[in-house]
Structure 1
Amino acid sequence: MKKFLKHYSPNPNELKNHKHLGWLGKHLHHSSLWNFNRKSISKAFAVGLFCAFIPVPFQMLLAAPSAVIFAANLPVSIALVWITNPITMPPIFYGCYKLGAWILDVSIEKDFVMSLEYVWQVFGTIWQPFLLGCLTLSIISSTFGYFAVQLTYRLKAYKRLRRS
C-alpha cells in the first residue's frame, strides 16, 4: 500500500515552484508532508477526518493548509476529506444533525426531507444541532483515526519483531 501511495503522490519539487499555490507552495518541500510513516500518517488521519465533517464546500482547501501546519502527510490528509463526497454527504450530515439534536436534547424535524431547498428553509431551527453534531463527529473521528493509525503501526512493528 505504501508503494502504491508513493507512486501516485505528486512530486514535491514540482509543487513548490507552482505559482498558483501561493504561500502554500514554499512550504511543500517539508519532508513530513510526503513521508509515509507512523507520525505523519496518524496526523494526516486526524487532519483529514476532522476536515471531512466540517460542512463547507471544498474541504480540501482546509485540509491542505492544516496538513502543512501540523506537518501531516499532505496527500492522505486531502484524500480523507473525500469521505464526505456528494453521494455520502446527505446521510452523513443528517446523522450529524441527529447526533447534535440528541446531545442538545431537542426534537428532530418530523418531516425532514433530504433536499437542499428544505434544509435552507429550516436552517434557522436546525443549525445549532447540525453544527454541534458536525463538530462532535469531527473531533471523535479525528481522535479515533489518529490513535487507530498509531495502534496499527505499533501492532505491525510488534508482529515483525515476533517473526524475527
Structure 2
Amino acid sequence: MATAAPRSMWQRAAGWCRRNLPTRESMERSRMLRPVAHRVLAPELWRFTRRSVPRGVALGMVAGVIFPVAQIAIAAVIALPFRANVPVAALTTFITNPFTTPLILIAAYQIGRWVLHVDAPVVAQPVAEAATGWLQWLWEAGPATVTGLVIIAAAGAVLGYGVSALGWRLWIARKWRNRHNKESM
C-alpha cells in the first residue's frame, strides 16, 4: 500500500480555498443576494484576472474587518461597482474569524485610542456598577474602536491589494519561465 506524498502548505491552502470558496450556485440561492443576483452572477465578476483578483482581496478585507455580519454578501455587493472578483472578495472576508476577531478588535481599540488621543477606561467598573460601567466603557471606547477598524481595514486593503498583485505577477512570471524552459528543451 503506497502512502500519499506529504502536501505542501500551498497545496493545503489551495484545497481549503476550493472547499470554502462560494460557488455561483450557492450565491444564487442566497436570499440576501436575490435582488442583485443578476449582477453578482455576471460571468466577468467570476473570472480570475490580474486586475479583478487584487480588487477582490482589497474589498474582502474591507468587508471582513468593518462589517460584523453578512460579510460575504456585503463583499459580493461591493464587488459589483469595482468589477472585482466575487469569489476572491467573499473568501477574503474569512480574515476575520473567531480566532482573529478579538485580536483585531483589541488592535483597533489601541490604534483608535492612539490616533484620537483618548484615554477611555480599559478595566470594567466594580460588579455593583457593572451594567452602567460596561455601557459607559462601550460608549467611550466606541469611537476609538471604530476609528481603529477603519484604519486596519484601509491598511489591510492596501497591503492585500499589493501582495495579491505581486503574487499574481510572480505566478505569471513562473508560468512563462516554465513554458520557455519546456520550449528550449
Q: Normalised by the size of structure 2, how large is the TM-score?
A: 0.71
1:10 alignment counterpart: 23
How well do the aligned residues superpose, as a CA RMSD in angstroms? 2.9
Q: Which moved more, 1:18-27 or 1:139-148?
A: 18-27
Structure 1 outlier segments of 4+, above 6 Å? none
Q: CA deviation at 1:132?
A: 0.7
Instruction: Give 1:51's match in structure 2, choosing from 41, 52, 63.
Output: 63
Q: CA deviation at 1:6?
A: 9.4
- 1:37 partnered with 2:49: yes
In the aligned structure 2, how far is the partner of 1:148 from the partner of 1:109?
Answer: 37
Query: Cα–Cα, structure 1 residues 120 and 84, in superposed 2: closer, same or farther, change >3 Å?
Result: farther
What is the SS of the residue equivalent to 1:106?
A: coil
In the aligned structure 2, how far is the partner of 1:104 from the partner of 1:7?
Answer: 38
Q: Normalised by the size of structure 1, how large is the TM-score?
A: 0.79
Contact 1:44 1:72 in 2 (8 A): yes
In the aligned structure 2, how far is the partner of 1:95 from the partner of 1:22?
Answer: 35
- 1:129 partnered with 2:155: no
Q: CA deviation at 1:119?
A: 5.6
Counterpart AA for 2:23: P
Contact 1:67 1:74 in 2 (8 A): yes
List aligned pairs for 1:17-32, cutoff 5 A: 18=29, 20=31, 21-32=33-44
Max Rg structure: 2
Instruction: Give 1:153's match in structure 2, choosing from 141, 161, 168.
Output: 168
2:90 alignment counterpart: 78
Q: Which residues of structure 1 form unaligned runs of 5+?
A: none
In the aligned structure 2, how far is the partner of 1:119 from the partner of 1:79?
Answer: 34
Counterpart AA for 1:124: W
Contact 1:32 1:40 in 2 (8 A): no
Q: Which residues of structure 2 form unaligned runs of 5+?
A: 1-13, 126-130, 181-185
Query: Cα–Cα, structure 1 residues 150 and 8, in superposed 2: closer, same or farther, change >3 Å?
Result: closer
How big is each residue's C-alpha offset from its partner over 1:83-103, in whole Å with a ceiling of 9 and x where there is no partner? Answer: 212332122111101011111
In the aligned structure 2, how far is the partner of 1:148 from the partner of 1:60?
Answer: 21
Q: CA deviation at 1:145?
A: 0.6
- Among all aligned residue pairs of Structure 1 and Structure 2, give the percentage whose two residues are the same amino acid: 24
Query: Cα–Cα, structure 1 residues 162 and 82, in superposed 2: closer, same or farther, change >3 Å?
Result: closer
2:7 alignment counterpart: none
In the aligned structure 2, how far is the partner of 1:129 from the partner of 1:19?
Answer: 34
What is the SS of the residue equivalent to 2:51?
A: helix
Counterpart AA for 1:50: V
